[in-house]
Amino acid sequence: MAKERVLITGGAGFLGNVLTRRFLGEGHKVTCLDNLMYRQDQSIMPLAANPDFEFVFGDVRDRALMEEQVPRHDIVFHMAAIVGAPASEQRPFDTKSINQDSVAILESVRGKGQKVVFPNTNSGYGTKSGQFHCDETTPLEPISLYGVTKCAGEDILLQSGKGAVVYRLASVFGISPRMRLDLSFHDMVLQALSTGAIVMSEGSFTRNYVHIQDVASGFQHAIQNYDSMVGEAFNLGSDGANITRKDLAMKVSQRIPGTVVYENEGKADLDKRNYLVSNEKLRRVGFEANRTIDQGIEEVRRGLAIMLKNNPYRNV
Ligand SMILES: NC(=O)c1ccc[n+]([C@@H]2O[C@H](COP(=O)([O-])OP(=O)(O)OC[C@H]3O[C@@H](n4cnc5c(N)ncnc54)[C@H](O)[C@@H]3O)[C@@H](O)[C@H]2O)c1
């Protein structure tokens, strides 16, 4: 791959951290633009030792900043967002302005030759029609503010005529220097490790999952195959990881012996995700996510076990 200048908005996030390292590792120059809203400076600070890494502190809603930063890059991954339905319900103004309006700013300041890859969510499939088997022709009908604003971002990019590759991501799992414990996969492993029990609702709901390193590989694939993928949306998940929440909890309990799984009525998913997603379209352009759920549980178990050893409040 030719060495290029990559701008990653939200580069200090869960996915952004892994993408930043992947593209630096490939020899590219990477700029991370982030407002560090979760005080995650320590996750990216070690990268300052790499002369190909640059950090820009700022907000993707700042048009002047975007005018300055976007044009000097060959590639833009627009990851910055308020992520997940619960976080979005708590911050409706930020959700609309970051997840949707900043995409319009990006679109207005970028040139036609710049490659853009945008991560939408597959959250909207099947929710109103009740369709269980979903592919890219299935209407996206999100019900949460998060899903609505991310899908609006996809529309802005695909309809502008400048071209972009959109990924409709499955629920992501795996270790990142900036972990997200609010992701249900990670939450189940954490519950099992810290309490010996997993309490979950909507056990019969099927979701599609994908490993964070497979997402990074998918972004590399989009850049390497940009001309054949531009202007299209692709599901990015693992076909082997369409699984019910109950079966996922049972897999976690097998990996962490002694864990008891309880189902209750509480804490419903705001996007009511219950569908089986096909990743065939992406396979047809040459990419397949292949890390397994079991690999992910093992990796996350080992990572979170380290985290749980951390107790800064005792000297003895
Ligand atoms: N993690 C998943 O399972 C998943 C699934 C589907 C889609 N996505 C999409 O992937 C992207 C990254 O998600 P993530 O899981 O890494 O979330 P994250 O919350 O860890 O990362 C978001 C990053 O954006 C930054 N940010 C937020 N508002 C900003 C602003 N106004 N200006 C600059 N930076 C800002 C945050 O500080 C954070 O570093 C999002 O666009 C999300 O919608 C994620």
> How far, in Å, is the centroid of ligand 1 from the Cα of 196?
30
Nearest CA to ligand 1 atom 6: 121
Helices 293-308 and 245-255 pack at an angle, to 10 degrees, of: 60
Structural domain count, the chain: 1
Hey, which of 37, 70, 102 would you mutate to test ligand 1's pocket, going by the most ligand atoms within 8 Å of its Cβ?
37
Q: Flag whether 221 is in a domain.
A: yes
Hey, which of 14, 43, 62, 101 would you mutate to test ligand 1's pocket, going by the most ligand atoms within 8 Å of its Cβ?
14
DSSP per-residue letters across 215-276: HHHHHHHHHHTHHHHTT-EEEES-GGGEEEHHHHHHHHHHHSTT-EEEE-S-S--TT----E
Residue 186: predicted pLDDT: 97
Our answer on whether the CB atom of 15 is closer than 6 Å to any ligand 1 atom is yes
Q: Flag whether 200 is in a domain.
A: no
Our answer on whether the CB atom of 170 is closer than 6 Å to any ligand 1 atom is no
Residue 224: predicted pLDDT: 97
Our answer on whether the CB atom of 95 is closer than 6 Å to any ligand 1 atom is no
Q: What single letter denotes the amino acid at residue 4? A: E
Closest CA to 172 of 26, 54, 283, 16: 16
Q: Residue 221, Cα to own-chain centre: how many angstroms?
A: 16
CATH number at residue 228: 3.40.50.720
Q: pLDDT (tens digit, 0 to 9) for every residue of the chain, 316 residues total?
A: 568 999 999 999 999 999 999 999 999 999 999 999 999 999 999 999 999 999 999 999 999 999 999 999 999 999 999 999 999 999 999 999 999 999 999 999 999 889 999 999 998 786 777 778 899 999 999 989 999 999 999 999 999 989 999 999 999 999 999 999 999 999 999 999 999 999 988 888 899 999 999 999 999 999 999 999 999 999 999 999 999 999 999 999 999 999 999 998 766 666 677 888 999 999 999 999 999 999 999 999 999 999 999 878 878 7
Residue in the block written with tokens 């701008």: 7
Q: Flag whether 312 is in a domain.
A: no
Our answer on whether the CB atom of 60 is closer than 6 Å to any ligand 1 atom is yes
> How far, in Å, is the centroid of ligand 1 from the Cα of 98?
10
Closest CA to 170 of 235, 115, 108, 84: 235
Residue 2: predicted pLDDT: 65
Q: Flag whether 15 is in a domain.
A: yes
> How far, in Å, is the centroid of ligand 1 from the Cα of 81?
4
Q: Flag whether 254 is in a domain.
A: no
Q: How far apart are CA 303 and CA 127, in angstroms?
A: 33
Atom of ligand 1 nearest to the CA of 38: 37
Cβ burial, residue 312 (10 Å; 0-12/13-18/19+) = exposed
Structural domain range at position 34: 5-172+211-238+275-290
How far from 65 is each of 8, 109, 287, CA to CA, in Å? 14, 10, 34
Asked if 188 and 198 count as a contact pair (C-beta separation under 8 A), the reply is: yes
Q: Flag whether 125 is in a domain.
A: yes
Q: Flag whether 195 is in a domain.
A: no
Our answer on whether the CB atom of 127 is closer than 6 Å to any ligand 1 atom is no
Q: Flag whether 270 is in a domain.
A: no
